[in-house]
Amino acid sequence: MAPNAMSRTDWTTSLAEAQPVPYWLDDPGRPRPEPALTAEETRDLLVVGGGYSGLWTALIAKERDPERDVVLVEGREAGWAASGRNGGFCAASLTHGPVNGLTRWPGEIHALQNLGARNLDAIEAAVVRHGIDCDFERTGEIDVATEPYQARELKDRHAELERNGLAADTEFLDRDAVREQVASPTFEAGLWDRRGVAMVHPARLAWGLKRACLRLGVRIYEHTPALALKPSGAGMAVRTPYGRIRARRVALGTNVFPNLVRRVRPYTVPVYDYALMTEPLTADRLASIGWKNRQGLGDSANQFHYFRLTADHRVLWGGYDAVYPYGGRVRAEYDHRPETYARLAGHFFTCFPQLEGVRFTHAWGGAIDTCSRFSAFFGTAHQGRTAYAAGYTGLGVGATRFGAEVMLDLLAGERTERTELEMVRRKPLPFPPEPFAWTGIALTKWSLARADAHGGRRNLWLRSMDRLGLGFDS
């Protein structure tokens, strides 16, 4: 998406008052943290991690068995990491889109689509049941083409979905139809998934899950990082800075952070993603871009943007740059990248030139747990006493609830429709050690950018990755 005629000074001026904090977390409704663990406890189930993955696991565990003694520990505060920094796209897809799922698990794709739809319905039901005020809107999402070749690809994708019986509630939009939905001079076509995506306020969803857990009797300790995990008698023990917890079973929902089961670590890498949030749009500005149906949007380039409206008519604009730090380190210093913010601002005004003069109020970033198949993987350790799920690659807002159910099934030793899936039984390829990981990721990023600049043509490197099942299609 090439910048328009606005000068770079105009783009950067729009960032002059942007606060370097996640918009979602800058909220007066943010709950007070729970006290840290300062003793030794023994419980039935210990959940490590206070993001969506851990919170859903604790909540569903108590809903399945109200008598189960469940404790959750979080290194900082519930929802502070990816769960409070993402774009708020809550998707039904468990496979990073049906095309990725069809490519990897063709024999299971209908079951996976059905499970994903049921999972999104269950999230919506939980939001209602627990009174979670998270601006849940079942608006769907439009993949938009900004180049003629992308429009052709979207039409071909829709035809492929139709051939495989996967196009229900999906509509191809030509140039006029997509611009009728959202008025951008850059849009050439769109593919609208009408029911498969909801928009949420991500931090409020996490905080609502935390409150629901507490009401059901889950013990939550914040500012309590889990430092080590090891067998203890018939169960497991986790050491924390001021105490220790023994539990019969442990569920690990730490995602991008180093897994307590060391052999799992090579399967994920952190990729840093960045976003901007505008000031609330006036009625005239909002009318100038249409967007009456409030869908989430994402463009079809390899280096893609995602964007959506908030409840108070701001525009979130994120994506494009995906930054992998050498060595796969997760550090606070990577949460901000001014050169990316400036680039995103330029792209925003190219997409919506009618919004010239709008200011950004917040700019932030955070790490995504990425795996080589771009959708979650699962497993157990310590003779089935520990379960883990990770690798959601940006679609964890919805899929983490499914992952929570998988972890609980695995810990119970149950054969269910979830645990029988090939997706659950097999893992992706691990990433190689450095410097090979950094070199491979850098080459892939360069190749994807080159494909975007050359009509989508994939070079030898990308074609080789495709054949190995490592190709990425946004």
What residues does each domain of the chain span? 40-97+203-267+375-425, 436-467
Band (pLDDT 50/70/90 cuts) for residue 6 is low
- Number of C-beta neighbours around residue 235 at 10 A: 19
- CB under 8 Å to 292, separation ≥6 — which residues? 181
The β-bridge relationship of strands 197-199 and 89-91 is antiparallel
Q: Are 255 and 371 in contact (CB under 8 A)?
A: no
* Calpha distance 38→470 (Å, rounded): 44
* Calpha distance 15→276 (Å, rounded): 9
- pLDDT above 90 (res 65): yes
pLDDT, mean of residues 192-221 = 98
Per-residue pLDDT reduced to its tens digit, 90-138: 999 999 999 999 999 999 999 999 999 999 999 999 999 999 999 999 9
* Calpha distance 199→294 (Å, rounded): 9
pLDDT given at position 474 = 42
pLDDT given at position 9 = 53
* Calpha distance 1→458 (Å, rounded): 18
- CB under 8 Å to 372, separation ≥6 — which residues? 267, 428, 429, 430, 431, 469, 470
- pLDDT above 70 (res 3): no
pLDDT, mean of residues 265-269 = 96
pLDDT given at position 8 = 56
pLDDT given at position 238 = 98
Kindly state the tokens that stand for 86: 């993402």
For residue 136, the SS3 value is: coil
- Number of C-beta neighbours around residue 460 at 10 A: 8
- pLDDT above 70 (res 7): no
Per-residue pLDDT reduced to its tens digit, 409-460: 999 999 999 999 999 999 999 999 999 888 988 888 888 888 778 788 888 8
pLDDT given at position 472 = 54
pLDDT given at position 471 = 60
Number of helices (H) and strands (E) in the chain: give both, helices first.
13, 18
Tell me if the bond preceding 435 is cis, omega within 30° of 0: yes
- In the chain, the percentage of residues whose pLDDT exceeds 90 is 88
Rg (CA), the chain: 22
Kindly state the tokens that stand for 53: 């993955």
Closest to 158 (Cα-Cα) out of 118, 193, 198, 123: 193
- pLDDT above 70 (res 1): no
pLDDT given at position 470 = 67
The alpha helices in 278-395, defined as continuous H runs, are 283-289, 338-351
Q: Please, what is the Cα angle at 10 between 7 and 13, to 5 degrees?
A: 150
- pLDDT above 90 (res 86): yes
How far is residue 54 from each of residues 146, 158, 202, 218, 404, measured CA to CA in Å? 38, 35, 15, 12, 7
Q: Please, what is the Cα angle at 406 between 196 and 410, to 5 degrees?
A: 170
Which stretches of 78-209 are assigned E, i.e. beta strand? Answer: 89-91, 141-145, 170-173, 189-193, 197-199
Identify the burial level of 365 via C-beta atoms within 10 angstroms of its C-beta, where 0-12 means exposed, 13-18 middle and 19 or more buried: buried
Beta bridge partners of 40: 244
Report the greatest alpha carbon distance in the chain.
Answer: 68
Q: How far is CA 329 from the centre of its chain?
A: 19
Fold that domain 40-97+203-267+375-425 belongs to in CATH: FAD/NAD(P)-binding domain (3.50.50)
